[in-house]
Structure 1
C-alpha cells in the first residue's frame, strides 16, 4: 500500500458523500492527544486491557464522555440485530448539542433504516456492518468524511469502535468524530468544493 487512503464517493440528487478510509497508523499521525478520536480510542484500549477481541459493551460508561468533555462527539449504535437496517441509534452525539439534524429529525432510538438520505443510509450500513464484522483492533474503521446531506455540509474524521455482547459477538459500536472544518448549512457546497 502506498499510504493513500481508499476513497469512495457517492452522489444522489443534492446529497454528496466522500469517504477516505485510513490506516490506524495514519490515524495516529492525523489525531493529536486532545482529539475526541484519540481520547475514546485510548478509553477503548483501556477497557480492552490487552485482550484479543473488543471489550464488553456493558463495560462502556457513558459518563466518561462528560469527563472527557466530548459527549457531543460520540454516537452509540446498537448493532445486535442480524439485519444492519435494524441497527439502532442508542445515543446520538446531537442529543447534547444544538447541531442541526441532517436526518430530518431526532434519530435516537430509531433504526438506521429511518434515515431519509439513501446516500447516507448506504454509507452507514456498509461502515457499521464492516465494523461489526471485525472485533479486533487491527481492523478498526477510521474514516475521513466530507458530506452534504439535506443541505448540511460536514467535514470530519470518524473512528468506529466495536464492543462485544454476551456471546462475544459485536453488539455495540461507538462512533467518535472530530470536525476538520465547521459545519455549514448551504446547498451550494457539493462535490465541486475543494477537498
Structure 2
C-alpha cells in the first residue's frame, strides 16, 4: 500500500508540474511553457494554452522511425509535426496546415533560418487578396507578422519550394487547415523547434 501511495504521489506531482510520464501516453508535456516572454525585444503574449486541445501542446512522445535524429516529419492529416530524437522518441508539436487546394507533400531541407523574419506575400497571393499589395516589398517583423517569431525556409531539388515552417500569432489556428500551404506553429513552439533544428535538416511532409 505504501508503494502505491508513493507512485500516486509522484504521478500527481508530475502532472502538476505540467508534464506526465504515466502509462502509454506522452512522456513529457510542456503545458507550462507558453507564458509571456520578451524575445529579441518583442513582447510575446501568453498563449491561453488551456484553450488549446491537449494533444496539440508540445510533448515528447514515443515515435518509431528509420529516419535519423534531427529529421522533421510533418503529418498533415493528424496536424502534428515530429522532431525526431534518439531512442524511439520525438518532440511532437501541434500545427496548422494548408487549406483545401493549398496542401502539399514531399521531402525538402531547411536551407535558411530567420528570427523575426520579414514576410513578403507571393504574387499569386496578392492577386487573390489585393489588399496585401502594400506588403509587396515585405512586411516588417513584429507581433502581427504572419511568419511569427521564427521561420525556416524549405528548399528541394528545384530550389526554394515557397513553403515555410513558421510561427503564428494565431494560436487558435493550430489543429486546422487554413493556411496557404505553409506549416504554422504557435510562436512559443516555433522558437523551441528553431533552437533544435539545424540548417540542412531533412523535412518530410506526409
Q: Please confirm whether the aligned pair reaches a TM-score higher than 0.5, indicating the same fold.
A: no
Q: Relative to total residues, which structure has the larger helix share, 1 or 2?
A: 1
TM-score (normalised: structure 2):
0.27
**Greater C-alpha Rg:** 2
